Amino acid sequence: QSALTQPASVSGSLGQSITISCIGTSSDIGSYHCVSWYQQHPGKAPKLLIYDFVHRPSGIPDRFSGSRSGNTAFLTISGLQPDDEADYYCNSFKTTNSYVFGTGTKVIVL
Amino acid sequence: QVQLQESGPGLVKPSGTLSLTCAVSGASFSSNTFWSWVRQAPERGLEWVGEISDSGSTKYNPSLRSRVTISLDKSKSQFFLNIRSVTAADTAMYYCARHLSCAQGDWGPGTFVTVSS
């Protein structure tokens, strides 16, 4: 099944805000509230940042926020910090009764 | 606090069966929860493999459905992944996870499986 589309990389300076897009279709992001975002540092397991489009698990700072517009989901990171340099993945439930991840975005902190 | 730990052979021969176990501690298998397997090939992105509910109902990635079975043993607080007829394309880090709503909330550290003769 086709992955959701994310930009290969996004960069920003310390303290700035960046937004990562996740483009889907009416068969996934556009139809369900089940959209989540994950952060993955090299050699580590992914970590859940956002679930159900906008909710943060316990312990995730409010610098991370999620939103949606149509068939596209967005992750915004405010007040960029050195440890935010990592890979980020979106994920959505689909009409095929399955989940699909995004292609992944490398965030570079300048 | 919930902890998940994957285990299984690190090397599987082509055409064989990949079998992994996820041991869960600190969480109940009777709280209407879902449990997933996710994999990541070297230098590649994440791929959802499938999930199982506490009641045993399953969902699978359509591209893997014909080869994958996920099961659970509540008495042992474990769930399992089997992939049949493996090829080199199944070489990956395999993660198990517990859902938070419809997201993979808590993850194990992962176990790497190589398919090679």
The CA distance from B7 to B1, in Å, is 20
d(CA B23, CA B3) in angstroms, rounded, equals: 8
Band of pLDDT at residue B29, cut at 50, 70 and 90 = confident
Interval A56-85: pLDDT, tens = 999 999 999 999 999 999 999 999 999 999
- Residue A107 corresponds to which tokens in the numbers above? 């965030």
Q: Which residues of A fall within a CB distance of 8 Å from B63?
A: 1
The C-alpha atoms of residue B44 and residue B42 are separated, in whole angstroms, by 5
Residue B30 has pLDDT above 80, yes or no: no
Interface of B with A (CB under 8 A): 36, 38, 45-48, 50-51, 59-63, 95, 100-110
pLDDT for A104: 97
Q: Are B97 and B108 in contact (CB under 8 A)?
A: yes
Residue B99: half-sphere exposure toward Cβ, Cα within 13 Å: 23
Please indicate whether, in this complex, the C-beta atoms of B103 and A36 are within 8 angstroms of each other.
yes
Using an 8 Å CB-CB cutoff, list chain A residues near B103.
34, 36, 48, 51-52, 91
Residue carrying the six token digits 């992994």: B20
* Sign of the Cα pseudo-torsion (A98, B7, B43, A74, in order): positive
The alpha carbon of residue B31 and the mean position of all alpha carbons in its chain are separated, in whole angstroms, by 19
- In 3-state terms chain B splits into helix, strand, coil percentages (rounded to 5) of 5, 55, 40
Name the minimum distance, in Å, from the CA of B32 to any CA of chain A: 17
The pLDDT value recorded for residue B28 is 79
Per residue in A83-96, pLDDT (tens digit) is 999 999 999 999 99
* Predicted pLDDT of residue A2: 84
Q: What percent of chain A has pLDDT over 70?
A: 100
Q: Which residue has tokens 């994950």?
A: A38
Tell me whether residues A47 and B61 touch, CB distance under 8 A: no
pLDDT 10s digits, B86-100: 999 999 999 999 999
CA B51 – CA B65 distance, rounded (Å): 11
| pLDDT at residue A47, rounded to an integer | 98
